[in-house]
Structure 1
């Protein structure tokens, strides 16, 4: 009778060890499942990142994940080996075998849990990379769709313009050049990569919108070119008429003033005639470009015509302005002298503001300006004074004074 209780006690302890080993096995299985699930989830994140990002940080993350994968394979292998090594359901499992099973399965569980903890920390470190990648992926489909819609809008705008009789060959060529890009967009990011596809979509969008915008503006552009052709032709005729009046003005200048006052204007009539002739030739070229619907050429030629006429207009006006200014100053030079002296005195007052003596940097150029004005006045003595030299000198004096005034104001404003 004494042996029976002993067997029950031993059997009870063995069952307890078996239960503990089974609990360790269940815990290890749960840890294995959690690690496997975490690895699968993180693999999706890594694939998301590498699909979008080829930066060193992204490549390093992929390499680190691969290294973690090798470690996961090892601890998983150790876990499976421990499970296979111990049949906890067999009859006759003694306490020692159950204890060894529990210890090995517990170690396997601990390794699985430690590895998962490291995997979790690694995943937390991917936050910014993953967010950027997801943002890029979220942009992909809308970007491609916007590009397609922009191409459609450009095509429709071009068709409408052509229907009005405008060829728009250059716009058609630019639109046709986008066809290969559309093909690549349709092939998708799987073939060309997410970033390249987004960049391509953005580029197609920009170029297609430019074509559409130019196509929509083309009728108005054609009308504007027509208006400018008429306007510039009228202006060229008006300048030709005015240029014919330059020679009489020059004759008056020669008769009344010394050669120094008009010598630089001698070439104006001939140069004006040449410039107007060149402008009219360019107008003809612009008209031809308009008829052939070479819009950029027409626009460029009209710009050349405008520049030529501006230059000619200024030269033609210069002769009349010269005579008027010489007449005014020869009749009453005191007005010009007083105007210049007033500018000097005003600058001198500013230079002395809050000071007992002026700053030499300001006093010297102002003193030089006074001396220069006096020399210009003295140069008016004689039978045929050089009035034009006098006017250019007084203008130069006022410019010098204005620079000094600006320097003083800048220094006062800067707290110097």
Structure 2
């Protein structure tokens, strides 16, 4: 037999059959057609493989979006279902790759049967890829509500973080403005610096710290930054107010020092004109006043130092202590003068005090009887006791040196009882009207 290349072209391209069981060759047109069909199936399978991979990556973003926000059972099920799809995708992808690797469509001696077999297997691989992609897409559509809710929550992140950043900038600017007036504001600077790590976490994003955690952190940073800004803005006025209070309290301390000197003569007058029971409790007022004023002046000096060192909280606390000391001293000094005045008034005419007290009792008794034939024992008993108490106080004035102060405290106690009964009656009637 002559080599094929030496035969005429027409003969070489024509179909041939050889006797004696020889191999039957395909015609060129028919063999190349099968190859092209197989190649087309391979291209279609490659396209399906790429589309499935793209769909899987897109859906992974959806799952990550949901899980960044949602930890509900529905979200956890979505993750589990996606993982199951991942296993299915790995299986069909591995089958596709194995099919591609098992067929070399570029071989020169590719037989028609091999091309047909490749076409069928590649088509089945493509169909399986398309089927899984369809299932994956339907699964993705079922996540629409979860995705919408997650996206709505994610949409809160950027505005919240931006508000926090704006708050930090405003706080920093306010701090700079306060320092420009000569105020150090070290405590505010330390609080602002403490927000640095929180800002770093905000910059790391919700993907690392979660949506809710990020939004809450942003809100906390904004709130603290605004507080720092406001305090820094008030700092110059706060310093000015402290200066005014220092001057005012120093002036008040000086005035009380002068007033304390009047207590001695008042006590001498009380001792001369009234029994010991009327003034014994005031004996220590002069010494206590001097001690309190001295303590207040020492605290004022400490407050001045704290203010100069810009320890605002310490200065404010010290001034509050000074105010309390001076207030107590003022009450003691005033009490001595008031005692003498009230004792003089009642000693001159105690009838006014008695009549005033009886009027309060009669007013309470009228209210207790209003709309009733007999008073309620809960009201009548304390009023009857108060009447008896007043009578005893009046009887106690007999004698050469009556205890006028005891008389005054007793009449005041009787009026308090009357006022309490009146209040109880009105409250009870108010509750009855509201039913």
- The TM-score, its normalising length taken from structure 2, stands at 0.72
The answer to whether the Cα contact below 8 Å between 1:229 and 1:287 also exists between their aligned partners in 2 is yes
Query: Does 1:327 find its partner at 2:340?
Result: no
Residues paired across the two proteins, number: 351
Gaps of 5+ in 2: 1-51, 100-126
Cα distance change of structure 1 residues 36 and 357 upon mapping to structure 2, 3 Å threshold = farther
Per the alignment, residue 62 of structure 1 pairs with 75
Q: Distance in 2 between matches of 1:235 and 1:396?
A: 33
Query: Following superposition of structure 1 onto structure 2, how do residues 219-238 of structure 1 map, counting pairs within 5 Å?
Result: 219-238=236-255
The answer to whether the Cα contact below 8 Å between 1:326 and 1:388 also exists between their aligned partners in 2 is yes
Alpha-carbon RMSD across the aligned residues, in angstroms, is 3.2
Query: Does 1:170 find its partner at 2:170?
Result: no
Cα distance change of structure 1 residues 40 and 350 upon mapping to structure 2, 3 Å threshold = farther
Cα distance change of structure 1 residues 308 and 73 upon mapping to structure 2, 3 Å threshold = closer
CA shift for structure 1 position 72? 6.6
Gaps of 5+ in 1: 1-34, 85-104
Q: Distance in 1 between matches of 2:216 and 2:281?
A: 59
Query: Does 1:185 find its partner at 2:198?
Result: no
Q: Distance in 2 between matches of 1:72 and 1:217?
A: 61
Query: Does 1:141 find its partner at 2:162?
Result: no
- The TM-score, its normalising length taken from structure 1, stands at 0.76
The answer to whether the Cα contact below 8 Å between 2:304 and 2:315 also exists between their aligned partners in 1 is yes
Cα distance change of structure 1 residues 356 and 224 upon mapping to structure 2, 3 Å threshold = same
Cα distance change of structure 1 residues 352 and 115 upon mapping to structure 2, 3 Å threshold = farther
Q: Distance in 2 between matches of 1:327 and 1:43?
A: 94
CA shift for structure 1 position 48? 3.0
CA shift for structure 1 position 187? 2.1
Q: Distance in 2 between matches of 1:66 and 1:178?
A: 35
Per the alignment, residue 295 of structure 1 pairs with 312
Per the alignment, residue 36 of structure 2 pairs with none
Q: Distance in 2 between matches of 1:202 and 1:366?
A: 60
CA shift for structure 1 position 337? 0.6
Q: Distance in 1 between matches of 2:210 and 2:86?
A: 30
Q: Distance in 2 between matches of 1:147 and 1:386?
A: 71
Cα distance change of structure 1 residues 124 and 354 upon mapping to structure 2, 3 Å threshold = farther
The answer to whether the Cα contact below 8 Å between 2:67 and 2:75 also exists between their aligned partners in 1 is yes
Cα distance change of structure 1 residues 301 and 344 upon mapping to structure 2, 3 Å threshold = same
Q: Distance in 2 between matches of 1:176 and 1:113?
A: 54
Per the alignment, residue 174 of structure 2 pairs with 157
Query: Following superposition of structure 1 onto structure 2, how do residues 121-140 of structure 1 map, counting pairs within 5 Å?
Result: 123=143, 126=146, 131=149, 133-140=150-157
**Structure whose CA Rg is larger:** 2
Cα distance change of structure 1 residues 135 and 253 upon mapping to structure 2, 3 Å threshold = farther
Q: Distance in 2 between matches of 1:407 and 1:162?
A: 58
